Structure 1
Amino acid sequence: MKYLLVDTANTFFRARHSASRQADTWDRLGFAIHVTLASINKSWRDQKANHVIFCLEGRSWRKDFYAPYKKNREVARQALTEKEQEENQLFWETFDNLQEFIKTKTNCTVLQHNELEADDLIAGWVEAHPNDDHVIVSSDSDFYQLLRPNVRQYNGITDELHTLEGIFDKTGNIVLDKRTKEPKPAPNPYWLLFEKCIRGDSSDNVFSAYPGVRKKGTRNKVGLLEAFGDRKKKGYSWNNMMLQRWVDHNGDEHRVLDDYERNKILIDLTAQPPEIKEKIAETILNSSKPKKNLQVGAQFLKFCGKYELKRLSDNASSIATWLSASYPDQEII
């Protein structure tokens, strides 16, 4: 089996922000839906997938584990103008309508839990289906850590496929770096995860475990590359970095290892606390059941009519193929 795992909110709202600024709100709403479904349709066709799983957001457990988590986004929302707030509300209402359509009118699997993020569920699905192939539909680089021979990532905003072999454009050619004109290097999931756990994630307000650390060390100081190379043996380079201490702007002292372990729980999508892992597994188990909705294509045309999605309705037969494809009758591990 080959599954498409859709990071639904990411795809929808990234599409919103890539729409023309000159377009009115209605056109931007349609554009976000169009890019979301067209991205899935292209990936389904190109990757020859068998079933689509939409992964939705809940209130993240990480906010209870680490109080600053995504606090920056709350500040950004509070700074919106009244007009921006009204548009934001319209987009969320549209997104809710899209979710409801997928849940009730199609045979796609939908994963959601009120304490889990879509990232948790995507990683959990991959872990629960180790013998299958998976394509993650998302522009979020956090998923690089999951790349394996049987796991790829499709970015519908840039129309790129990210794999362990390299990054490929829509024609299947290697993507070149715009500055160097050289092929972009294939992602190394283990290095990228380690680096993010040390440097933190500013987009999620996860603080660095070692502010100012260099990628490559000097004669007198170990860098990230040396510590990463020593991560299995945990010898001199590893301990030299991890046992360093630093003081933050409040005068509080931190040990690198302690903050690294905290960030690993927050960022590593296989390192959640045991009770969270249980909720992930339970959600996947309860949702991994065949759906038998009929006339999915007709229901899709009605949805397109509501939002005047002419280009999507013109491709309704193609899109209805994957909207109708049900989860197979099989047990998961």
Structure 2
Amino acid sequence: MPFDHPTAGRGPGDAGVHDLRHHGDAEASDGLVDFAVNVIGDGPPPWLRDRIAATLDGLGRYPRAEHDAHARGTVATRHGRAPDEVLPLAGSAEGFALLPALRPRLAAVVHPGFTEPEAVLRAAGVPVARVLTDPADGHALDPRAVPAEADLVVVGNPTNPTGVLHPADDVRALARPGRVLLVDEAFADAVPGEPESLAGDAGTEGLLVFRSLTKTWALAGLRAGYALGAPELLARLAAPRPPWPVSTPALEAIVACCEPEALSAGDQKARELSAHRVSMAAALAGIEGVAVQPSHAPFLLLHLPDGTGHGVRQRLREAGIAIRRGDTFPGLGPDHVRVAVRPPELARRLVDELDAALRALVVPA
């Protein structure tokens, strides 16, 4: 697992050849079947919609301290933490935007991974070392590859877009005195039982965990999530926030999604999604020339035959299907694509159209 250390020839704002601010929503145009975005479903279930809607009559008032406290307390109970170890967020993206407040001297970001943390850090002038996982090793995490001098390390678990679920002990091994270890667990609740989550780990020094409610509960438009960490670390992270950063509806969503009934329903959704992923991965792997990265997440990373990536994405769009390009992720190339796991009837359409696109593009030798 090599790393790309900042050099004098690369400015802190240089993202290299990768468009770090490109995300799947840019490809999910109206009218297309959406395999580009990892949100599960078109919107929240009726019970959650009703909980959120019930807050609307109170929108004439600013979010109240008791709402924030209720959200912190519910999340704390959900993860076995203390309330002051919880920071409600307007989605994980807000947490990433706050990272420069930690004043890191060198940030190490494990790639391929979600690109927004690196984009934020570079924009703030923070030097970034890219730690690239090895596809030959299944993109496994090697803690020894992270530069010792990094005082901020960012890793996803499961990692987007590879879907790799790193053992908790390997992730925990990245922690050390004087370092903040940020684990992005945006997709952790898509893994039945959340076996490798560090969300309940209050004993690891410098550990910061971000959780999102966007994916499982289809709340991308609401922006709701939270951070977990030591109170003093959360205070440093939150220092530049404006007043009332999380809306009343988002605070209610945080509470609703962390209550026992929701946790049970979410785990059932995770089990259904896992079954869909297994069948979808097998069908995609049956297409000649397509390599499927094993995944524990609600998406699959595909490696297409050399030179076909752009043409496949174009042909699929013409067929009414959006998929996520992979070449904006450091460590991947133009023939990588990411596809969201969908129910069998939609997955079958993707498989058929992808097979047809490749047959049209790949000329037999």
* TM-score, normalised via structure 1 length: 0.27
Question: Which structure has greater helix proportion?
Answer: 1
Q: Which has the larger radius of gyration?
A: 1
Q: TM-score, normalised by structure 2?
A: 0.25
